[in-house]
C-alpha cells in the first residue's frame, strides 16, 4: 500500500523551485500506517499509483492576489490538479493545514483570515475520541463554513473548523500539524484511521 505526499514548494533562487517536506512527516506516517510506504509526488499523473494522497501543510492559501509569490502560484496550481485527479479516481485524500484549506476551498467552503498560532483546545463529537483535545496551530486563515457534503469533525472555541470529512468520499482535512508533535496525539491517529473505515 502506498502513500503519495505532495509537499510545500519553495523558490530557492529566481525561478528555481524545490520540494520541501518536514522530515517528521515520514516518521508520523510510519507510526500511524506501518504497512504503508511513503513517497513524494509532484504531478497529478502520479495519483493513480497511490492508495492515499496527502497535500502537506506549511504556509497558508493566499486569498489576496498581492500576496502571491511564484512558488505560491506553482504550489496551488499543482495541488489543485492533484486534488481534482484524486477526486476523479476516487482516491483517499488527506489535507493537512494548507492542504485542508485547499481541499475545503475547492469543495466550496468559506475561508477567512484569522490567526491561529500555538496550542489551543478543540472539540469533537466523534465516538471513541475524547471530546476535548489540545492541538498545535500555525495558520493565518481558518475554515468558517464547509461546502456541501463536508461534515465537521472538530472545531475550536471560536467556532472555526479544525477537522472535517466528506460524507461520501474518503476525504479528511485537519488544520493542525500532527507531524510536529513530539509524541503523536491519539486524536491525530484516530482521525486518520477513519480514512480506512467503511
**Residue 131 pLDDT greater than 90, yes or no:** no
**CB atoms closer than 10 angstroms to residue 177:** 22
For strand 52-55 and strand 2-6, is the pairing parallel, antiparallel, or unpaired?
parallel
The upper half-sphere exposure of residue 156, i.e. CA atoms within 13 Å in the direction of its Cβ, equals 21
List pLDDT tens digits, range 159-187. Answer: 999 999 999 999 999 999 998 888 888 88
Q: Which domain holds residue 185?
A: 2-196
pTM comes to 0.92
How many domains in the chain? 1
- The CATH number of the domain where 80 resides is what? 3.40.50.880
- Are 19 and 8 in contact, with CB atoms under 8 Å apart? yes
pLDDT band (50, 70, 90) for residue 108 = very high
Q: From CA 139, how far away is CA 21, in angstroms rounded? A: 17
**Residue 128 pLDDT greater than 80, yes or no:** no
Average pLDDT, the chain: 89
Over residues 119-130, the mean pLDDT reads 83
Q: From CA 26, how far away is CA 108, in angstroms rounded? A: 30
Concatenated DSSP letters of the chain: -EEEEE-EEEEEETTEEEEE--THHHHHHHHH-TT-EEEE--SGGGGGG-SEEEE--SS----SGGG--HHHHHHHHHHHHHHHHHHHTT-EEEEETHHHHHHHHHTT-EEEEEEEEEEEEEEE--TTS-SEEEEEEEEEEEEEE--TTEEEEEEETTS-EEEEEESSSSEEEESS-GGGSSS--HHHHHHHHGGG--
Q: From CA 133, how far away is CA 49, in angstroms rounded? A: 35
pLDDT at position 62:
65
Over residues 127-156, the mean pLDDT reads 89
Amino acid at each position: 500500500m502506498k502513500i503519495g505526499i505532495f509537499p510545500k514548494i519553495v523558490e530557492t533562487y529566481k525561478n528555481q523551485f524545490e520540494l520541501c517536506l518536514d522530515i517528521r512527516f515520514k516518521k508520523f506516517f510510519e507510526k500511524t500506517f506501518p504497512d504503508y510506504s511513503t513517497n513524494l509526488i509532484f504531478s497529478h499523473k502520479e495519483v493513480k499509483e497511490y492508495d492515499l494522497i496527502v497535500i502537506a501543510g506549511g504556509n497558508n492559501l493566499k486569498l489576496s492576489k498581492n500576496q502571491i509569490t511564484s512558488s505560491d502560484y506553482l504550489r496551488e496550481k499543482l495541488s489543485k490538479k492533484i486534488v481534482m485527479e484524486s477526486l476523479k479516481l476516487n482516491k483517499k485524500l488527506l489535507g493537512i493545514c494548507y492542504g485542508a484549506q485547499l481541499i475545503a476551498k475547492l469543495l466550496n467552503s468559506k475561508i477567512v483570515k484569522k490567526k491561529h498560532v500555538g496550542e489551543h483546545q478543540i472539540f469533537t463529537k466523534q465516538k471513541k475520541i475524547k471530546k476535548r483535545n489540545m492541538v498545535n496551530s500555525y495558520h493565518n486563515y481558518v475554515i468558517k463554513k464547509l461546502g456541501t457534503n463536508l461534515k465537521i469533525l472538530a472545531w475550536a472555541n471560536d467556532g472555526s473548523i479544525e477537522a472535517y470529512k466528506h460524507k461520501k468520499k474518503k476525504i479528511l482535512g485537519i488544520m493542525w500539524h500532527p507531524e510536529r508533535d513530539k509524541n503523536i496525539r491519539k486524536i491525530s491517529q484516530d482521525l486518520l484511521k477513519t480514512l480506512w473505515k467503511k
